[in-house]
């Protein structure tokens, strides 16, 4: 299954992507208002993340991480493995793979990058994020929690993208403001914000595969 889907994704990712049409489905009102004056600052920090597909129990999975409560902007939130580009990185796909190895322990030599999705800007942290899709053949062994990652979530894609998993939730931000937002609810975890928006594009792309 993974091989077949990977081949289809390689072809699909070379075509025009859903982009904002997918992102907006999981955006809260404040984010929707921002889109009306959307502009990426010149000083945006460049980063990339990886949606790493693998097969488990004959179903497609990907890992998400629960970020450590370290007082940073996205402290405690659920995200995709990834991080900032470094001077020695060859390209953004390399950054995504390197960060995945560093954060959750998946060896980079076992990861194959299939393509990329649409970039997304995250205003609170001033990151311009480039999402990539990759595959890992075999059973991944994740590293123990560390100072960046409190937990790795093994997420079944079929279950995550069930319509019943998308709910309206109220989130309290770090500044104490309450935000009503669409979110994926998976195993009592609330996945919202930019992560949910990027996953929405993955969902849309997967539904287009034949």
Q: Where is average pLDDT lowest: 2-6, 93-97, 163-167, 172-176?
A: 172-176
Reported as a single tens digit per residue, the pLDDT across 58-117 is: 999 999 999 987 656 556 789 999 999 999 999 999 999 999 999 999 999 999 999 999
SS3 (DSSP) at 73: coil
Reported as a single tens digit per residue, the pLDDT across 67-78 is: 987 656 556 789
Q: What are phi and psi of 83, to 5 degrees?
A: 175, -165
Are 197 and 27 in contact by the 8 Å Cβ rule? The answer is yes
Average pLDDT value for the chain:
92
Strand pairing partners for 115? 133
Helix, strand, coil proportions of the chain in percent (round to 5)? Answer: 30, 35, 35
SS3 (DSSP) at 195: helix
The structure tokens 């796909």 sit at: 93
All domains of the chain in start order, with CATH: 2-207 (3.90.79.10)
Reported as a single tens digit per residue, the pLDDT across 11-44 is: 999 999 999 999 999 998 888 877 767 788 999 9
Distance of CA 22 to the CA centre of its chain: 13
């Amino acid at each position: 299954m993974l091989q077949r889907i990977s081949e289809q994704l390689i072809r699909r990712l070379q075509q025009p992507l859903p982009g904002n049409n997918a992102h907006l489905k999981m955006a809260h009102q404040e984010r929707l208002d921002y889109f009306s004056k959307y502009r990426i600052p010149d000083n945006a920090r460049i980063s990339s993340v990886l949606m790493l597909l693998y097969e488990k129990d004959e179903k497609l999975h990907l890992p998400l991480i629960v970020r450590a409560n370290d007082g940073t902007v996205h402290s405690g939130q659920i995200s995709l493995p990834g991080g900032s580009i470094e001077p020695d990185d060859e390209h953004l796909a390399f950054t995504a793979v390197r960060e995945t190895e560093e954060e959750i322990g998946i060896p980079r030599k076992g990861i194959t990058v299939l393509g990329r999705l649409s970039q997304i800007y995250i205003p609170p942290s001033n990151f311009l994020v480039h999402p990539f899709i990759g595959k890992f053949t075999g059973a991944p062994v994740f590293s123990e929690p560390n100072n960046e990652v409190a937990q790795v979530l093994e997420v079944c894609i079929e279950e995550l993208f069930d319509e019943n998993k998308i709910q309206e939730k109220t989130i309290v931000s770090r500044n104490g403001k309450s935000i009503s937002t669409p979110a994926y609810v998976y195993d009592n975890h609330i996945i919202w914000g930019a992560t949910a928006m990027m996953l929405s594009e993955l969902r849309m792309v997967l539904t287009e595969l034949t």
